[in-house]
Amino acid sequence: MFQIGPYSIDSKVILAPMAGITDRPFRQLCRKLGAGLVISEMVTADTGLWHSRKSQLRLDHEGEVAPIAVQIAGGDATMMAGAARLNVDQGAQIIDINMGCPAKKVCKKAAGSALLKDEKLVADILQSVVSAVDVPVTLKFRTGWSPDERNALTIARIAEDSGIAALALHGRTRACGFKGTAEYDTIAAVAQAVAIPVFCNGDIDSPQKAQAVLSYTGTDAVMIGRAAQGRPWIFREIDHYLRTGETLFEPSLREVRDILCSHLRELYSFYGEFMGPRIARKHVGWYLQTLPDSVSFRQQFNQLDNAEEQHASVQYFFEQLITKEEIAA
């Protein structure tokens, strides 16, 4: 258990914010499956863009379990403060600041991990957002701009002095993107240097790895991103292992089918008849990537643009797999 402001988080496993992935249906699913905290995909600080359908969906928190955490991205302290206030007005109970995204289109706008180059601007943004809202503000960032310019320790101290309530640190620099392996020495140094909670992010893809990384870094929780795509049950697996030292069985084909079909129904309901099936394609691809006979099925599935046909085809695919499994047994 750890604390973010007034909120006690009971599980040491957090869903990382991921653009285009951690929408409301996925966040709610991950909470049900053991995530102690889930964070929205990033919302731009430019409120002039909020009238778009994409932004409206990102600002939709109906039915979500507290605390509702929303990530904002931008490079202007005044705009970030304004965006934080408006998000709180719309239900956000924790504001998370993005200084970790390595995407070129985000960094070109002097946002995301590009901000790490300008420590004064970092301080201005953090202080402005913290003073603008009466909810906890957290920061997600990277170990530095490049392997030669790792300044995470400095940024962490600036954050703590600015009143940031918790830090999530990805074990790569901006220049690394998602290449190579995450390094945890910098994260361990940050965890030792500050008194606020620190969450470790990067390459954590199993309960055993989560335990090893927590022990090595001395952090308060692990943050899971890409490893949750198509495997949202990873949260309960890690949570169970951290509590008991026992490894849960992999979910059965029937349970995977039920989780996926429920996820699809939520996507269709949330995005509607046109966008829902299109958004569903990438999720189905992730769920099925380790299953036999999935390559040809995914090719056929990606041609379908009707929700009912998609849903029926997934059920049929799993029935075939389940029957083969029962015959083999």
Of 30, 101, 107, 176, catalytic = 101
Q: Strand, coil or helix: what is 153?
A: helix
Judged on CB neighbours under 10 Å (0-12, 13-18, 19+), 20 is exposed
Q: Strand, coil or helix: what is 210?
A: helix
Q: What amino acid occupies position 176?
A: C
Contact 247, 34 (CB under 8 A): no
Asked about 101 being catalytic, the answer comes back as: yes
Q: Strand, coil or helix: what is 88?
A: helix
Count of helix runs (H) and strand runs (E) in the chain: 12, 11
Phi, psi of 9, rounded to the nearest 5 degrees? -100, 120
Q: Which helix (H) or strand (E) holds 94?
A: strand 94-99
Q: Strand, coil or helix: what is 46?
A: coil
Q: Which helix (H) or strand (E) holds 73?
A: strand 69-73
| Residue environment code for 267-296, b if the CB has 16+ CB neighbours within 10 A, otherwise e | bbebbeeeebbebbbebbebbbeebeebee
d(Cα 6, Cα 268) in Å, to the nearest integer?
35
Any idea which residues carry the catalytic annotation? 101
